[in-house]
Chains A and B, each alone.
Chain A
Amino acid sequence: MNRIKISIVLLFFLTSFLAFSQQQDDTTQGYKKRVLETVEVDILSSYYTQDGDNAAVTGGKGTEELTDATGTIIVSIPLNADDVLTIDAGVSAYTSASSSNVDPFDGNNAADPFVASSGASRDDVWTNLTASYSHTSDDRNKIWSALASVSSEYDYFSVGFGGGYSRLFNERNTELSINATVYLDSWTAIYPFELRPFAPNGNGLNNGFFLDNTIIGNANYNPQFTPFENENRNSYNLGLGFSQILHKNIQASLSLDLTQQQGLLSTPFQRVYFADVADSFVASFQLADAVEQLPDNRLKVALGGRLNWFLNDRVVLRTFYRYYADSWGLTAHTANLELPIKLSDRFTVYPSYRYYRQSAANYFRAFETALSTEEFYTSDYDLSEYVANQLGFGVSYSDIFTKAQLWKFGLKRIDLKFYRYDRDTTFTSSIITAGFSFEVY
């Protein structure tokens, strides 16, 4: 019976593809519409805040307070009727209380995992530049693209490049795509302050820090610390996509992303406290027993689906589901619903809800539960088991005729959105985003 069912499904599937191949492409070759009529400029900005009590920098116990302000400009330039060059430049400035505790002994504030330090690691700026180029065939059914990117922050540098190909079939009702990207990243490893004297050629407890400060608890402090030899991290991504118009009001897509990461996947300044080692403190701060140790390989598989339904002239339903699994034993489900409601020709509101659930990675150990005999361990609660709920609300203004003009810029669209994210732990975050789209004359 099962065989018959499978045969019917396969026959139906085969028939479907034969049907695709028999359809005529009705693209007119005479007049060629430009892929992009004018230069377009998008300006995106966001302000993000988070807080929680499980900072990875302090071994899973400490403030996770962080703020981040990001600004991005994206300029799309039509080079001719078929080719578009897009330049995407962004700057993100953040202040992180937990990162500040890479060195909690700055002398200005109390050395405490719940108190931010004023050290150099307290803030940083991330900058990114991505250039991408796309070429569309004369019949507008084939699109080739290529991209190159570079990003930098104080202790991290990343170079990326990649390409993609999309093919539209069936009078543009069906699209298949493939893309691949490679990121070659490198760390400038920074370790917790108290571990640095224990690196090879360090002077251990004879270091001035330990001579100037009294160790409380286990005075024979002897952490397990060897700096990482390899400071590179490479990521190889392969993405496959399929989208289909199902009805004049419904379309859906499926995507599969495979990512292989290699190299230094641990974060060098994230502390771990062992359950089988006596605790040592300086002031209120527990000294690290080690930094997190994670495998130098990780394979990630993500399978996602979207279905968008134009319910009526006022309401659209946008849905998304993703299943994720990786070789560290972490699995996750993500579901997202958004319901754009058009209040008028120009104003739309965007209520949304997102559900996220993940299992813990095999190597996750809660605060002070890792054992010194284990090979891999981390107390990064981003890799723990949790459920998160996110509520969002946004409003947009759009004007396809770009009546509002400033010099050569015609305002096409403004978006403003707010999201509140809560885990079933102490972690919460909020983000407010704003986007402005212009056409340049």
Chain B
Amino acid sequence: MIRTLFLMALLLCSLGSCVVVKEYEKVAINDPDMLLLEQPCDRNVTIAHTYREGAAGANGGKTGGGCGCN
């Protein structure tokens, strides 16, 4: 699994150098739905997952602090 992800990272890095998208070509990239983050109104959904599930992190959510024990 880790090896696969590492290779994916390498591929992603490599692909990046093949293309340079100019600022004036970033209309689609700048669309609010293209943000590489959780959408702001989903924040409390992510917090609920963090509290109720064993896994946390790598999604822009809370990774520590707070109780969430109820």
Contacts and interface: CB of A to CB of B under 8 A. Distances in A.
Interface of A: 9, 12-13, 15-17, 19-20, 23, 42, 44, 46, 48, 50, 66, 70, 72, 74, 94, 96, 98-99, 124, 126, 149, 151, 153, 155-156, 158, 160, 170-174, 181, 183, 185, 187, 235-237, 239, 242-249, 251-257, 259, 261, 267, 270, 300-306, 308, 310, 316, 318, 320, 322-324, 326, 330, 332, 334, 340, 348, 356, 358, 361, 382-383, 388, 392, 394, 398, 413, 415-417, 419, 429, 431, 433-435, 437
16 contacts: A16-B13, A23-B20, A156-B66, A160-B65, A171-B20, A235-B65, A237-B64, A239-B58, A244-B12, A245-B29, A248-B25, A255-B59, A302-B57, A304-B59, A318-B33, A323-B1
B17 A15 contact: yes
B51 to A, nearest CB: 8
Given A23-B20, A417-B41, A149 B10 contact: no
Nearest to B19: A247
Nearest to A94: B70
A382 B34 contact: no
B13 A13 contact: yes
A342 to B, nearest CB: 8
Given A9-B10, A16-B14, A361-B54, A415 B63 contact: no
B13 A17 contact: yes
B40 to A, nearest CB: 6
Nearest to A128: B66
Contacts of A155: 67
A326 B25 CA distance: 41
Contacts of B70: 66, 94, 96, 98-99, 124
Interface string B1-22: 1100101111011111101111
A286 to B, nearest CB: 20
Contacts of A173: 16, 19-21
A143 to B, nearest CB: 14
Contact of A246 (B19, B22, B39, B54): B19
Interface in B27-57: 27-29, 31-36, 39-45, 48-49, 52-57
The 9 closest A-B pairs by CB, nearest first: A235-B64, A183-B65, A304-B58, A302-B57, A435-B41, A257-B57, A16-B17, A324-B55, A332-B55
Nearest to A256: B58
A156 B63 CA distance: 17
B54 A153 contact: no
A416 B44 CA distance: 13
Residue of B12, B49, B54 with most partner-chain A CB within 10 A: B54
A151 B65 contact: yes
Nearest to A23: B20
B7 to A, nearest CB: 8
A94 B12 CA distance: 43
Contacts of B63: 181, 235, 237, 239, 257, 259, 300, 302
B12 A254 contact: yes
B52 to A, nearest CB: 6
A207 to B, nearest CB: 26
Contacts of B43: 44, 72
A383 B54 contact: yes
B36 A251 contact: yes
B54 A13 contact: no
A388 B31 CA distance: 30
A358 B55 contact: yes
Given A50-B52, A235-B63, A382-B52, 14 more contacts: A9-B10, A46-B44, A170-B16, A170-B17, A261-B64, A302-B56, A304-B57, A316-B34, A324-B58, A330-B55, A334-B59, A340-B33, A419-B45, A435-B40
Contacts of B69: 156, 267, 270
Contacts of B14: 9, 12-13, 16
Given A17-B13, A255-B58, A322-B58, A433 B45 contact: yes
Given A23-B20, A183-B65, A433 B41 contact: yes
